[in-house]
Structure 1
Amino acid sequence: MPSTTTRTITLTGPDAAGFANAQLGSDVLVLSTGRWQWSGWLDPKGRVRALLQVARLADDRFVLVPRGGDARTLAQDLGRFVFRSKVRIDVSGELHVSDGDAFGDGCAREDDSGTLSLGEGDASLRVGKNSGNDAWIARHIANGYAWLPDAALGTLLPPALSMERLGAVAFDKGCFPGQEIAARLHFLGGHKRHLRSARIEGSIALDEGQTLRINGKDAGIVLMQDRISQSPTTLVVLDDTMSQVETLDIGDARLHVISTFAA
């Protein structure tokens, strides 16, 4: 089975750190060279345009790994906010995402071939030209690390993707797009959809981006699936009204909820 692919976005220049910090939800300025963090780019209404892993490989060089979506469109849209900032935005060719060896949690490095490794402690995520397999997906589903299908882009608010838990939004670093909505949800709560991992039971596979309809109502969306394991798992955003039900019937498939992730 071919591996997942993406394109990275590189920000370089003396204003790269400030530009990234002004646009992204995380506190980019605290990121040390050789480290990575979760982040996201929100629209003015607080909806998640992109979920990102951001690595700082030099004082003035940041590599953004979009977890789903079109990096070229994302880079073009980011470019509209450069104005007089001294920052250059480049997009890579198509790269493969695959499992990597154990590497310090939060550490980031790039080898001579240009392969980026993002440490997760007992494993790592590799992004490079060489193909691999999607064995990392099961681990990311178990940890609540979403990869967004096109149908989810621009539709979900940060609590639905557990972004505060990941540190992908920070409320003490100054303004960023969508901050007002994200902060309101943080301080007042009230969002009724959250991230959940589930085991798939039944003969019909679900599709990434598929709307989950339960009793005729829209109850959530499928984000990603592990199609390799004998016991397939999936990561979904699910309405909180379903939180008390361990097994959900969805057409000819069933979902057995394993974990619910905090906002």
Structure 2
Amino acid sequence: MEGPDAIAFAQSQFASQVTALANHRWQFSSWLDAQGRVRNVFHLVQLSEERLLMILRGGDATIFVDALRRFVFRSRVKLSILEGSLAGDVAMSLHDVEVQDDVIRFGCGSHSMLFGANVNSDNTWQLEQLREGWPWLPSAVLNELLPPALSLHRLGAVAIDKGCYPGQEIVARLHYRGGNKRHLHHVALSKPVDDGALLQRENSEFVRLLNVIADAERIEALAVISDEVAGRFGQNDKQNLSDEGIDVQLLNTWPA
């Protein structure tokens, strides 16, 4: 996204505090629909005062840009897609950004990520980010979940103290009046399943999985679970078992 109105346009559409970004810094951000459901989550990078880069955490870039373009109207903004891959790299301070030639490196604390057309893609960073509770949204869950269920306020991907943006009223209502009954969890699974799978128990929703990663030791995933269901975990082994025969163990839970 680039142009004289790029930052103002992003501020009006995205749920994070875009105007707080400085050059060569990044923040978590999100784009919501009018009902407050999460369309996309992404890293928002400010490359200059007139140029922003969004690195999607799930979803299709073409669909995202086409949908966002409908709201440009008279704003002096150009939206385009950059082809590139992601790879892990050495530690770098959280939210810092470095640009060298056509490669963008952004800091994630214990590691960094590289993005560029000539970057050799790898997944070395994925498990570490999963364990930090950084959601990656499979296509199956786009436009389905509210920000508190993904712990987006904790990450700064939604802001309460800014002007209007799509879904802002729902975000504020959930924050000030409560009502959120689903939270983000780190879980271990007894069997591999697809990203975005919906596990059921007694023919009702049990666990909505986000990204699922298997390593040498176990299968781990981020999951959205209702507070009622999560409260029954550990009472006995049967309470952890889905109708599909998958045992789910809670490892960590994050606030809204």
> Smaller-chain TM-score range?
over 0.9
Distance 1:20 1:141 in 2: 27
Shift of residue 57, structure 1, vs aligned partner: 1.0
Distance 2:141 2:108 in 1: 25
Identical aligned residues as a percent: 36
Question: 1:22-78 deviations in whole A, cap 9, x for unaligned?
Answer: 000001001000100001000000000001110001111100011111111111111
Q: Tell me which moved more, 58-67 or 122-131.
A: 122-131
Contact preservation (8 Å) 1:57, 1:109: no
Q: Map of 1:99-248 to 2, 5 A cutoff?
A: 99-112=88-101, 114-129=102-117, 130-201=119-190, 204-244=191-231, 245-246=233-234, 248=240
> Number of residue pairs matched?
249
Residue 88, structure 1, aligned to residue 78, structure 2: yes
Amino acid at match of 1:257: L
Contact preservation (8 Å) 2:93, 2:107: yes
Q: Which runs of 5+ in 2 are unaligned?
A: none
Distance 2:112 2:3 in 1: 27
Q: Tell me which moved more, 234-243 or 48-57.
A: 234-243
Q: CA RMSD in A?
A: 1.3
Shift of residue 98, structure 1, vs aligned partner: 2.0
DSSP 3-state at the match of 1:180: helix
Q: 1:229 to 1:28 in 2, by over 3 A?
A: farther
Shift of residue 153, structure 1, vs aligned partner: 0.3
TM-score w.r.t. length of structure 1 = 0.91
Contact preservation (8 Å) 1:135, 1:228: no
Tell me the residue number matched to 1:62: 52
Q: Which runs of 4+ in 1 moved over 6 A?
A: none
Distance 2:31 2:134 in 1: 16
DSSP 3-state at the match of 1:206: coil
Q: Which runs of 5+ in 1 are unaligned?
A: 1-10
TM-score w.r.t. length of structure 2 = 0.93
Residue 249, structure 1, aligned to residue 236, structure 2: no
Bigger proportion of residues as strand: 1
DSSP 3-state at the match of 2:26: strand
Q: Tell me which moved more, 80-89 or 41-50.
A: 80-89
Distance 1:31 1:191 in 2: 29
DSSP 3-state at the match of 2:241: strand
